[in-house]
Amino acid sequence: MTTMFQPIDAYCERTSAAYWAEPVNALTNVAFLVAALIMWRRTAGLPLARAMCGVLGVIGLGSWLFHTHANRLTALMDVLPILGFILLYLHAATRDLLGRRGWWPWIAVAGFLPYAAGAGAVLGALLPLGSSAAYAPIPPLILAYAWAVGRVGPETGRKTGRGLAVGAAILIVSLTFRTLDGPVCEALPLGTHFLWHLLNALMLGWMIEVYRRHMLAKAQSPG
């Protein structure tokens, strides 16, 4: 159990095991809370979207704990809420954006981890992604949904597909900064991980907004 509390030095900004060794990486997690609050106020009447907002807030708290108490236990608190958001959004996107009911949303959720493991291994072998390889399968998955949703319906589907593609683009830029944190450390002691936080908060809030707009457009469409 003691290994769970063993300090982790994973990012450029951290130079010791002290609580405030990563002040910028820690404080930029406020962006997740701000995004969660903004989207909470915009998603009344949409239970799944409200659940996404709740998980988004937990992502910020988990990441705060990891970048202040950097150990194996808080690392789990950091990554598990992110996984929870992915699975929740995947369920919502399959059911409500693609219109696949019944078992399909659950099949999509169950298939994510095998997909992520396989795609992450391939992308990690092809590109110098480091620990970001675990997140690399997500942009292609979003783009696949963007393409599929764009084919489902008329203008609503096309707008939603474009919105998802924008989210994937933001995530690609965000992952780039996460990946560069180590390589640029000597020239930039602050690192670039904090930009991963800021862009991820923007991206996750935007993904909730894409879902919100789609659901409102469906509710307003005739028939």
For residue range 93-137, list pLDDT tens digits in order. Answer: 999 999 999 999 999 999 999 999 999 999 999 999 999 999 999
pLDDT over 80 at 177, yes or no: yes
Distance of alpha carbon 97 from alpha carbon 144, whole angstroms: 12
* CA-derived radius of gyration, the chain: 18
**pTM attached to this predicted model:** 0.96
Q: Measured between alpha carbons, how far is 150 from 144 in angstroms, rounded to an integer?
A: 10
| Per-domain residue ranges of the chain | 18-218
- pLDDT at position 132 is 95
- The full DSSP string for the chain is -GGGGSB---STT--SSSTTSSHHHHHTTHHHHHHHHHHHHH-TT-HHHHHHHHHHHHHHHHHHHHHHS-BHHHHHHHHHHHHHHHHHHHHHIIIIIS---TTHHHHHHHHHHHHHHHHHHHHHHHS--GGGGGTTTHHHHHHHHHHHHHHHSSHHHHHHHHHHHHHHHHHHHHHHHHHHTTTTTTT-TT-SHHHHHHHHHHHHHHHHHHHHHHHHHHHHS--
Give the pLDDT of residue 154: 76
Domain 18-218 has CATH 1.10.1510: no
pLDDT in the model for residue 156: 82
Q: Quick check: 153 pLDDT over 90?
A: no
Helix axes 47-68, 72-92, angle to 10 degrees: 160
